[in-house]
Amino acid sequence: MTNLARLGRQYWPTLGLFALLLASWQIAVSAGGIREYLLPSPASVWAALWHGDTPWAQHLWTTTFEIIGAFVLAAGVGVALGVAIAWSPLLANALVPFLVFVNTLPKVAIAPLFLIWMGYGIFPNMLMGALIGFFPVVINTAVGLSQVEADMLDLGRVFNAPKWKIFAKIRIPNALPYILSALKITATAAVVGAIVGEFVASQRGLGYVIVTTQSSMNTSVAFASLIWISVVGLVLYGAVVLAAQLWAPWAEGVD
């Protein structure tokens, strides 16, 4: 109860603002005479959110699967590239300029090429999400692996510890908070990438739902889809924040 009271004290401004916005939106639509296809009322969005005309479960699953795939791919490839860069100066010299170049490309503009190369499907959308989200992971992994006190490395050298052991016991745990911090950005980027991919080429997914509402002017469904997307995004982001608190509790305030 005291916990609930504490949460209430902390979050009543958030909830208050949210309620105020919802109320003014509803009033603007019903009393202000805004037409439904321009701005649907919160009530009709709420109805669309649960309405059986759109197979939400199926779209939600497709998009969630793409987002998780994109996230895992970005995290895996990002960490691997970061380790490669920190491991060998030769690899760093080879990889860094190339990765910077890839990162400066407007990744969204590559989506049509993905359609040509891979056709319709879940995988190209995953790839788009991973492409948008992997770069911060590479950089933060490499930085976290190298931000180790010189004295600590001397300690490793004094005992003639092999390089892999320094990585396993000192550098990688040191990089963990940096990696988790980057993964918060990746979580958001994975959502953007998956939706962009669906915009360009798909027959399923929440992004596809939004595209189809364009022709039918069914804006309440578009809004409902946006809400589902943000739910998936928030859950993933929350999971990363939780993982950071769980796995790197010593690192409060790294980001």
Partner 1 sequence: MRELIALDRVGMMYQGASGPVAALAGITLEVGAGEFVSLVGPSGCGKSTLLRIVAGLRPATVGTVTVAGRAVRQPVADVGMVFQAPVLLKWRSILQNVLLPAELAGKNPASLRGRAEQLLDMAGLKGFGDRLPRELSGGMQQRAALCRALLLDPPLLLMDEPFGALDAMTRDDMALELLRIWGERDLGREARKTVLFVTHSIAEAVFLSDRVVVMSPRPGRIAADLRIGLPRPRTVEVRASEAFGKLNLAIFNALTGRVGDAPSA
Under the binding rule (CB under 8 A), the answer on residue 165 touching partner 1 is yes
CB of 79 to partner 1, least distance (A): 17
Q: Which is nearer to partner 1, 42 or 173 (CB)?
A: 173
Under the binding rule (CB under 8 A), the answer on residue 176 touching partner 1 is yes
Q: Residue 124 and residue 108: Cα distance in Å, rounded?
A: 12
Under the binding rule (CB under 8 A), the answer on residue 250 touching partner 1 is yes
Q: Residue 221 and residue 80: Cα distance in Å, rounded?
A: 40
Q: Which is nearer to partner 1, 58 or 147 (CB)?
A: 147
Q: Which is nearer to partner 1, 70 or 180 (CB)?
A: 180
Site string for partner 1, 93-132 (x = CB under 8 A): ----------------------------------------
Q: Which is nearer to partner 1, 41 or 174 (CB)?
A: 174
Site string for partner 1, 138-157 (x = CB under 8 A): -----------x-xx-xxxx
CB of 130 to partner 1, least distance (A): 28
For 221, the 3-state DSSP assignment is helix
State which of residues 95, 161, 231, 243 lies at the interface with partner 1 (CB under 8 A): 161
Under the binding rule (CB under 8 A), the answer on residue 180 touching partner 1 is no
Q: Which is nearer to partner 1, 53 or 154 (CB)?
A: 154
CB of 253 to partner 1, least distance (A): 11
Q: Which is nearer to partner 1, 241 or 254 (CB)?
A: 254
Q: Got the DSSP string for 47-115?
A: HHHH-TTS-HHHHHHHHHHHHHHHHHHHHHHHHHHHHHHHH-HHHHHHHHHHHHHHHHS-GGGGHHHHH
State how far the alpha carbon of 118 is from the alpha carbons of 57, 124, 195, in Å: 25, 6, 17
Asked if 68 and 126 count as a contact pair (C-beta separation under 8 A), the reply is no
Q: Residue 236 and residue 241: Cα distance in Å, rounded?
A: 9
Tell me the one-letter amino acid at 164. Answer: W
Which two tokens mark 43?
């009530």
State which of residues 158, 215, 246, 253 lies at the interface with partner 1 (CB under 8 A): 158
Question: Of 130, 73, 71, which is closest to residue 103 (Cα–Cα)?
Answer: 130
Q: Residue 3 and residue 254: Cα distance in Å, rounded?
A: 27
Give the interface with partner 1 as residue ranges (CB under 8 A): 149, 151-152, 154-161, 165-166, 169-170, 173-174, 176, 248, 250-251
